[in-house]
Amino acid sequence: MLEGSCLCGAVTFSVAEPLHAPDGCHCTACRKHSGHYFVSADVPKTALTVRGDDKITWFQSSPKVRRGFCAVCGSSLFWDPIERDWIGVAMGAFDTPTGIKIAVHVYTDEKADYYDIGDDAPKFETVPPRPV
């Protein structure tokens, strides 16, 4: 069982199965929401248990996507494609070791200029064809 939490601990969560390799999204919306680029793993919604979900504020960032953050401390936690059966969980919020590395970088055409991508994971200007 993998465990995670926001900075203040008002929201905690568990993931009941091994994580899929995460992606790093460099799009403008992810950068603004997270403060840098957003690295998340896609988790089946049935495998995610959230405690303190009354402390999550959801921001609808596009017609089919909402982003969840802790209303107390502001930690970016979730990227939710509302109509899908999975949810992106922020890798930075895990408290337990994850055992995986970033598998792919996406939307590098919107990357900011102050950093370079320093690993060998494949890079896509928008999104790669699924499955990643």
Question: Which residue in 25, 39, 56, 70 binds Zn ion (CB under 5 A)?
Answer: 70
Residue 10 binds Zn ion (CB under 5 A): yes
Residue 71 binds Zn ion (CB under 5 A): no
CA angle 75, 57, 131 (to 5 degrees): 70
Residue 21 binds Zn ion (CB under 5 A): no
Element (H, E) at 78: strand 76-81
**In the complex with Zn ion, which residue's Cβ is closer, 5 or 40?**
5
Residue 73 binds Zn ion (CB under 5 A): yes
Residue 72 binds Zn ion (CB under 5 A): yes
Q: How many helices (H) and strands (E) does the chain have?
A: 1, 10
**In the complex with Zn ion, which residue's Cβ is closer, 8 or 132?**
8
**In the complex with Zn ion, which residue's Cβ is closer, 8 or 21?**
8
Q: What is the biggest distance separating any 2 CA atoms in the chain, rounded to whole angstroms? A: 39
Tell me the C-alpha to C-alpha distance, in Å, between residue 126 and each of 9, 25, 104, 130: 34, 9, 11, 12
Please give the residue ranges that form the binding site for Zn ion (CB under 5 A).
6, 8, 10, 70, 72-73
